[in-house]
Amino acid sequence: MNNVHPEKQYRLGIDIGGTFTDLVLINDATGERAVGKVLTTPPDPSEAVEEGLVELLEQEGVAASRLGTIVHGTTLVTNSLIERKGARTALLTTEGFRDAIAIGTEHRYDMYDIFIEKPEPLVPRSLRFGVRERLLGDGTVALGLDEDQVRQFAAELVEREVRAVAVSFLHSFRNPVHERRAADILAEEAPGITVSLSSEVAPEIREYERASTTVANVYVRPLVERYLRVLEERLRRLGFEGSLYVMLSNGGTASVETAREFPIRLLESGPAAGALATAFYGRAAGFSEVLSFDMGGTTAKACLIEGGKPLTSSEFEVARVYRFKKGSGLPIKTSVIEMIEIGAGGGSIARIGALNLPKVGPDSAGADPGPACYGRGGGEPTVTDANLVLGYLDPEFFLGGKMRLDREAALRAIEDKVARPLGLDCVEAAWGIHQVVNENMANAVRVHAVERGKDPRAHPIFAFGGAGPVHAYRVARALGVPGFISPLGAGATSALGFLCAPLSFDLARSLYGRLNELDWSEINETLDSLEEEGRQLLRASGTADSDIRARRLCEMRYVGQGHEVTVELPEGELGPDDAERLASLYREEYRRLYNREGPDVALETLTWRLEVSAPRPRIRLDDERGEPRALDEARKGTRKIYLPDDEDFREVPVYDRYRLDPDVSIAGPAVVEERESTVVLGHEGRAEIDAARNLIWRWLD
């Protein structure tokens, strides 16, 4: 991905959001960047991709044939699981375990809710089949697979028009022989049905989570396969001849073939790119510890960046019954960047809540019809409408003037739905909407940081997305952080994040045992096998063997504990002499995470993981420019904006973001505009532009 060929010197990142589709084009030879933004087309997101790509390439005078790499992220998997719009799916599991995915862990995520709702399995009971077979915990075959029964089930699946089948047998992570044979029979008897095996999707301990992940994977596979096929066809028609990659939830990228087979790894595809961009800019600006704050048209996402890297986890939940209650969703075993996501974006709808107070989100006006001010038929007041009424957005310069906003429509929507019912004037109601969403986001960030043992006040916010910089000043003030950072091109930073990601793969296998009783030859053989599998995947994507980096990890816990801690393993072969060394590494990590010593109890291992990655792609932030310009040369004029400290509108300077050069300093209050986003600055600090053209705001002492 790093090689620059004169005929293919461009790379493109594409981020499909709920409201806008963002594109970032990078010229690898010069470091120059260009940004495109179009409304998302929900029925077929690839339409917006094609529209935006054609527009951007024409704007820059670049032929599609000169694109060497396209990296793409999508919310298609998450949306189809939440909306239950996947394929008609069946489950083949060990006889006696067909109800395991309905029983789950029997965990009550709310002890005191007598009307508690559990997530409904993606496969109805009538399509869950128990197969006669049995493997023991060590992978030994206790009862052979009843192949005739599998053939009978295959015929029934065809008759009932099932399109996808998950195969998840007990203990198959230790021995996949029965699952593979069942897949062969299904291929013979029902070749039109898509099949996923738990031993390939999530070869890990815990029957419920493994089955849930496999079901979710195959449930969305036909949809993702169709979408990627259509996207590839559109790109080829435009003349694209390079490589298409897809962003994974853990911040790596993979080939289209891998994405088709394991679409569950794309769950947090889009948000992951924003976290990677934050880490990239943070390292470049000298901030290795930052809070990523990505606010787009539909949602706001926040995550912690530590040591220049986002925090990751091997567990995730999707389609929660209650958005913020862990345990109320479908468990997914896949590597993801840890973040919190709330329904707070520019399109989030404002209304009167149960306590006769303003309530914002989580539902959004999206791209169609969009906020009232878009003039596309929307009549509900949104955050964007409130920001327009408050003067924070220029109705004539939205998307650089491509889209004119209707301030009168925004005023009518807020007046009818919020201001009049509360007995407020329209400006008071608009400020209430703006402040409610600020507090919602600040609270979410605070909870996310504290749950991970971090002080949210210790790190600056890195604010991006179309709406992030508009709200960054107030969110930073509410959190009490040292300041905030907003990059150039903030409205499309997530799309740039796709181009920061290396090709990478995560592989895992569960080998359960006490640390002092492990079969070390089996452990070494497993790790070597996982590494070779990962290297083959990267070689197939064009990565030189010498450029591949491998990282080995193990999930460990105290005997009897319910959850694990992930420990990075030392290099080289492991043996009995390493048991105490691994125990020390575990206790050190436990101390770092929980700030306390663990009990004096024996340790056990559950899952061994291996991460393989190619080098990070190179991105230049120092594209050459002429003599630095004075601040006055960047001033576009003035505009009245609402300032709560003054309890009124005030005329403030408006600056052109593209003409702000390094070392320029800006006093607040002020507005800084670019085509895809706007930074609103209050009274109490000063902004500076650094060498990478980031806007860095600090409070005055």
pLDDT at 381 over 80: yes
Average the pLDDT over each of 25-34, 607-616, 664-673 and give the range with the smallest value: 25-34
**201-210, 264-273, 356-365, 556-565: which has the highest mean pLDDT?**
201-210
Position 657 confidence tier, pLDDT thresholds 50, 70, 90: very high
Position 502 confidence tier, pLDDT thresholds 50, 70, 90: confident
* Structure confidence at residue 630 (pLDDT): 85
Section 562-578 average pLDDT: 89
Looking at per-residue pLDDT, the higher value among 299 and 233 belongs to 233
pLDDT at 666 over 60: yes
Which residue from 219, 214, 240 is spatially nearest to 72, judged by alpha carbons?
Answer: 240
* Structure confidence at residue 36 (pLDDT): 87
Q: Are 683 and 667 in contact (CB under 8 A)?
A: no
* Structure confidence at residue 3 (pLDDT): 42
Q: Are 343 and 298 in contact (CB under 8 A)?
A: yes
Tokens of 229: 């096929």
Q: Are 676 and 490 in contact (CB under 8 A)?
A: yes
* Rg of the chain over all Cα atoms, to the nearest angstrom: 26
* Structure confidence at residue 507 (pLDDT): 86
pLDDT at 415 over 50: yes
* Structure confidence at residue 17 (pLDDT): 77
* Structure confidence at residue 43 (pLDDT): 80
**Residue 451: partners with Cβ closer than 8 Å, 6 or more residues away:** none
Beta bridge partners of 485: 462, 696
pLDDT at 341 over 80: no
State the amino acid at position 396 in one-letter form: E
* Token pair 């049995």: residue: 134
* Structure confidence at residue 8 (pLDDT): 64
Crossing angle of helices 426-451 and 468-479, in 10° steps, is 60
Q: Are 7 and 66 in contact (CB under 8 A)?
A: yes
d(CA 97, CA 304): 39
* Structure confidence at residue 587 (pLDDT): 92
* Structure confidence at residue 312 (pLDDT): 82
pLDDT at 4 over 50: no
* Structure confidence at residue 622 (pLDDT): 60
Q: Residue 637 half-sphere exposure, CB side, CA atoms within 13 Å? A: 4
Q: Residue 557 half-sphere exposure, CB side, CA atoms within 13 Å? A: 10
191 preceded by cis ω (within 30°)?
no
* Structure confidence at residue 624 (pLDDT): 54
Looking at per-residue pLDDT, the higher value among 440 and 361 belongs to 440
Q: Is 633 helix (H, G, I), strand (E, B) or coil?
A: helix
Tokens of 650: 């005030």
d(CA 86, CA 96): 26
Position 5 confidence tier, pLDDT thresholds 50, 70, 90: very low
Tokens of 480: 């009490």
pLDDT at 333 over 80: yes
CA angle 240, 243, 245 (to 5 degrees): 120
The DSSP result for 106-143, as a single string, is ---SSTT-TT--PPPPSS-GGGEEEES-EE-TTS-EEE
* Structure confidence at residue 701 (pLDDT): 66
Which residue from 14, 18, 25 is spatially nearest to 82, judged by alpha carbons?
Answer: 18
**Structure confidence by residue, pLDDT tens digits, 94-141:** 999 999 999 988 778 778 887 788 888 999 999 999 999 999 988 999
Sign of CA dihedral 356, 358, 359, 365: positive
Looking at per-residue pLDDT, the higher value among 622 and 342 belongs to 342
**Structure confidence by residue, pLDDT tens digits, 216-229:** 999 999 999 999 99
Eight-class DSSP state of 226: H
Q: Is 413 helix (H, G, I), strand (E, B) or coil?
A: helix
Section 389-397 average pLDDT: 93
| Cβ-based neighbour number of residue 183 at 10 Å | 20
Position 7 confidence tier, pLDDT thresholds 50, 70, 90: low
Looking at per-residue pLDDT, the higher value among 263 and 540 belongs to 263
* Structure confidence at residue 626 (pLDDT): 60
Give the 3-state secondary structure of 276-320. Answer: HHHHHHHHHHCCCCEEEEEECCCCEEEEEEECCEECEECCEEECC
Tokens of 320: 């929660």
Looking at per-residue pLDDT, the higher value among 467 and 345 belongs to 467
pLDDT above 70 covers a percentage of the chain that reads: 97
* Structure confidence at residue 2 (pLDDT): 42
* Structure confidence at residue 492 (pLDDT): 84
pLDDT at 327 over 50: yes
pLDDT at 627 over 80: no
Find the distance separating the first CA and the last CA of the chain, reported in whole Å. Answer: 45
Segment holding 58, helix H or strand E: helix 45-60
pLDDT at 282 over 60: yes
Q: Are 598 and 558 in contact (CB under 8 A)?
A: yes
Looking at per-residue pLDDT, the higher value among 97 and 457 belongs to 97
d(CA 470, CA 673): 10
Position 1 confidence tier, pLDDT thresholds 50, 70, 90: very low
Section 531-535 average pLDDT: 91
Average the pLDDT over each of 383-392, 494-503, 520-529, 617-626 and give the range with the smallest value: 617-626
d(CA 347, CA 331): 29
The order of strands in the sheet holding 67-73 is 33-39, 20-27, 10-16, 67-73, 243-247, 253-255
Q: Are 497 and 280 in contact (CB under 8 A)?
A: yes
* Structure confidence at residue 623 (pLDDT): 53
Q: Are 226 and 86 in contact (CB under 8 A)?
A: no
Tokens of 24: 């970032």
644 preceded by cis ω (within 30°)?
no
Q: Are 341 and 301 in contact (CB under 8 A)?
A: yes
* Structure confidence at residue 253 (pLDDT): 84
* Token pair 């860095």: residue: 696
pLDDT above 90 covers a percentage of the chain that reads: 47
Q: Hey, what domains does the chain have and what are their CATH numbers?
A: 10-80+226-262 (3.30.420.40), 86-219 (3.40.1360), 348-435 (no CATH), 504-613 (no CATH), 631-699 (no CATH)
pLDDT at 167 over 70: yes
Tokens of 82: 């939440």
Of how many residues is the chain composed?
701
Sign of CA dihedral 517, 519, 524, 527: negative
| Cβ-based neighbour number of residue 4 at 10 Å | 13
For 575, list phi and psi in degrees, rounded to 5: -155, 180
Section 356-372 average pLDDT: 82
Round the average pLDDT of the chain to a whole number and report it.
88
Position 684 confidence tier, pLDDT thresholds 50, 70, 90: confident
pLDDT at 254 over 90: no
Q: Residue 680 half-sphere exposure, CB side, CA atoms within 13 Å? A: 27
Strands, E assignment, 95-221: 128-131, 134-135, 141-143, 164-168, 194-197
